Amino acid sequence: MNQEKLIQELEKQVAKIDNLLKKHPFHPDFYGWKSKTKRLLERIDGENSSYVKDFEKIKYTLFISLPDTPEYEYDEAYKGGLYKAKSVLSNIIDELKNLGFPETVKRSKDISKITNQIIINNQIENNIFNSIQNQLNQNLTVNQYKQLQEILSLPDKKEKSKRLKEFFSNLAPGLLAELLKEIFINLKPFM
């Protein structure tokens, strides 16, 4: 059942309360109404949701009943429960319309977390790339930098890999160590 349909069904259950108020307490229609309403609420966020718990807390009977308790007190307790149910269900419907379904809200928060993580990862990758590029610019000669650009533009991955290994192997160990040191120093806040 889609969310709009579920809200419509809950609204129908609220509308039925007016008819139940006109009937004798615990008319057979009451039990069907109560059971269906509970099942609808379970569809929102499970059988242990706060919606179901709030609905189940509603009492339609007297807390204490004595043999000489007048009939009208039973009627008042029943009607009081129905009025409370109407209020609780109306509030749930308003909440669902205004804030969305809990599952949707959770999914939205999860998507937001994932999106934020992707953004952070992209920022870190960009920072790493920029740091490497800056250190290469500062520590390589013009000829070395041009040679590296040529290697990086090769379409064949195997050839590119082989030539990169040769290029970095031919760099003076001190220069390579300096490059790596500067890259990692600049990345420290992101690691």
Q: Rounded CA gap, 33 and 85, in Å?
A: 11
The label of the residue with tokens 């970095």 reads 168
- Whether the Cβ atoms of residue 48 and residue 30 lie closer than 8 Å to each other: no
Report d(CA 68, CA 46) in Å as an integer: 41
- Residue 15's pLDDT band (cuts 50, 70, 90): very high
Entry pTM: 0.54
- Which sign does the torsion angle of CA 172, 137, 164, 143 carry? negative
Q: What would the mean pLDDT of 126-139 be, rounded to a whole number?
A: 73
What is the distance between the terminal CA atoms of the chain, rounded to a whole angstrom?
Answer: 46
Q: Looking at residue 35, what is its pLDDT?
A: 95
4-8, 58-62, 64-68, 84-88: which range is least confident on average?
64-68
Which of the four pLDDT bands, split at 50, 70 and 90, describes residue 30?
A: very high
